[in-house]
Amino acid sequence: MTDAIDSKTASMTKIKAWLKANDIVIPVAASDAAIRILVRRRQVRKANNIPGERPIRGVVAASSLTQFKAKVNTMNTKNYGPKDHLCFNAKLLFVEPEVTILRHNANCRGVIKNGRCTVCGEESIGEPSFYVSFMLCDLEDSTDMYNMIGYKAAGEAIFGKLKTATQVEDLAPEVVADVLEEWSEVPINVHAIVEYDVAKGKTRVSPYNIMRMPIDYLTEYN
């Protein structure tokens, strides 16, 4: 199958047909931007002889997303699990476009809706905070997916530590979209705290360090 297709201007019908002809599986619920990146990724990998990059120290020994999910599921099944720090590798498929929410303040982390805090009920304009929703998949199995929510550390990993949630909220939507597209279909290393929350009856996952890895960590599924 020829690679003569423009991933930016071709219609989504042609894009999907091209991917199907090249035996490339489109992830479930993938955004149009993520699907277009699949085309560019395949074209680059086939057309360029990109030299391998040295593994990043520490991430080689990380768990897979599948192993990480098994740990979380075990905690949920047993309704128990002491706090643990886990490290895993995964492919970041895409990031949801809305990356901030309004929190009450530093002391009350309630969300502001209709001008009122959902926790304490106090009226407030709120403070922008990062709330980043990732869709991940296992590096070896593209059908094994996981949705993860990240906060301050996740926002800073994507937009840089010099960009606060308030600054990001003030950016034009197309600027935010461009940044998020750069983080689509890339391998990442995640450090997260996992702990079973008895009050909520589920395991709480709190990513505190997200690092982008060399493209060599991606595995071709086809």
Rounded Cα–Cα distance for residues 101 and 119 (Å) = 15
3-state SS of the chain is CCCCCCCCCCCHHHHHHHHHHCCCCCCCCCCHHHHHHHHHHHHHHHHCCCCCCCCCCCHHHCEEHHHHHHHHHHHHHHCCCCCEEEEEEEEEEEECCCCEEEECCCCCCCEEECCEECCCCCECCCEEEECEEEEEECCCCCCCEEEEEECHHHHHHHHCCCCCHHHHHCCCHHHHHHHHHHCCCEEEEEEEEEEEECCCCEEEEEEEEEEECCHHHCCCCC
Amino acid at 144: D
pLDDT 10s digits, 30-61: 778 778 877 876 776 665 544 445 555 556 56
pLDDT value for 220 = 47
pLDDT value for 87 = 92
Rounded Cα–Cα distance for residues 37 and 134 (Å) = 16
Rounded Cα–Cα distance for residues 37 and 22 (Å) = 14
Please identify every stretch of the chain with a pLDDT value under 70, giving residue numbers as ranges: 1-3, 28-29, 41, 44-61, 219-222
Q: Is the pTM of this model over 0.75?
A: no
pLDDT value for 39 = 82
Contact 110, 120 (CB under 8 A): yes
- What tokens appear for 107 in the block? 């002391």
